[in-house]
Amino acid sequence: MRGNARDSIHGGHGRIFGLMDHRDDLREFLTSRRERVTPEQAGLPDFGGRRRVKGLRREEVAMLAGMSTEYYTRLERGNAAGVSDSVLDGVSRALQLDDAERSHLFDLARTANEGLAVQRARSTSRPQQVRPALQQLIDAMGQVPVYVQNRRLDAVATNQLGQALFSEMFADQRRPMNAVRFVFLDPRAQTFYRDWEGQTRQIVALLRAEAGRSPYDRVLTDLVGELSTRSDLFRKLWASHDVREHRTGLKAIHHPIVGDLDLTFESMELASHPGLQLLAYSATPGTPSHDGLRLLASWAATQSAAAAQPTEVGDAR
């Protein structure tokens, strides 16, 4: 790789993800969240005058969190030694963190608190297949697109309609197919996702949250490094330190076969497959999107039947 081929994947300072001090992640996350909250939003009086910092000052966060300025400053510098859950809860309230951000803060504090020996010893693998019984179950859900992914956003399993729905992604022959790589590196993604810019922000926030949960996942390290090298937009969004959780939401896509689809999705953790999520997509009955899904299911079944037909062999005489 060229000189700083992975630079800024930890926030823009030339550090290599997973190889340097994880305390920097904690520092950059807390700084970015502090700069986001204004005194007015925090319920603090505004005495006028020009502020020299964006958002809240450290002493203001400390006051709102119920701790000394020195203690909060130490925490923001990445020193989480001995920090308690109650302290992190106080900081979460002061910085007005949502559930995903609060979980991320706890993950970063835990990682910053671990020794180098622990960092070297730990590694994280991600399942790349599901049990046959689960595959049979999702195959039986013929009218619902189903897609199973790990938290690195690799495709692990799908049913026939799910494969048809995300046919643009699965056109990439590289395996495992990765949704983040598709969004940032495949030109088809900008047509497939009608709100492509919103999708880029969402998917980076999901990956950033997973990086906090699994800071020693070498495959994730390589994925973030690759994307940071090849996509300026990914590098910029990664440096924002935004995080979110994948639970439910909307997908507005343009499918090459059936056109525009407005779908809702539900994400479910698979208790029998730790680290995997099942996403099921649906459309409101009576809407064009519902009709489009039915048409897509019919098309996918026809394509599958055609593929299953034996190939005729000419006369071998």
Could you give the domains of the chain?
Answer: 23-113 (1.10.260.40), 132-307 (3.30.450.180)
Structure tokens given for 199? 């999708």
The 10s digit of each residue's pLDDT in 242-266 is 999 878 999 999 999 999 999 999 9
Q: Does position 95 have pLDDT exceeding 50, yes or no?
A: yes
Per-residue confidence band for 183, with pLDDT thresholds at 50, 70 and 90: very high
Structure tokens given for 102? 């609060």
Mean pLDDT on 97-107: 96
State the pLDDT at residue 116: 43
Mean per-residue pLDDT of the chain = 86
Q: What angle do CA 221, 226, 231 make, to 5 degrees?
A: 130
The pLDDT > 70 percentage for the chain reads 85
State the pLDDT at residue 245: 86
Q: Does position 296 have pLDDT exceeding 60, yes or no?
A: yes
Q: Are strands 248-255 and 155-158 parallel, antiparallel or unpaired?
A: unpaired
Residues 6 or more apart whose Cβ sits within 8 Å of residue 63: 69
The reply to whether the predicted model has a pTM over 0.75 is: yes
Instruction: Encode burial over 235-261: b for 16+ CB neighbours within 10 A, e otherwise.
Output: bebbbebbbbebeeeebebebeebeeb
The 10s digit of each residue's pLDDT in 260-285 is 999 999 999 998 888 899 999 999 99
Cα–Cα distance measured from residue 18 to residue 10, given in angstroms and rounded to the nearest whole number: 9
Cα–Cα distance measured from residue 155 to residue 167, given in angstroms and rounded to the nearest whole number: 12
SS3 content of the chain, % helix, strand, coil (to 5): 45, 10, 40
Q: Does position 233 have pLDDT exceeding 80, yes or no?
A: yes
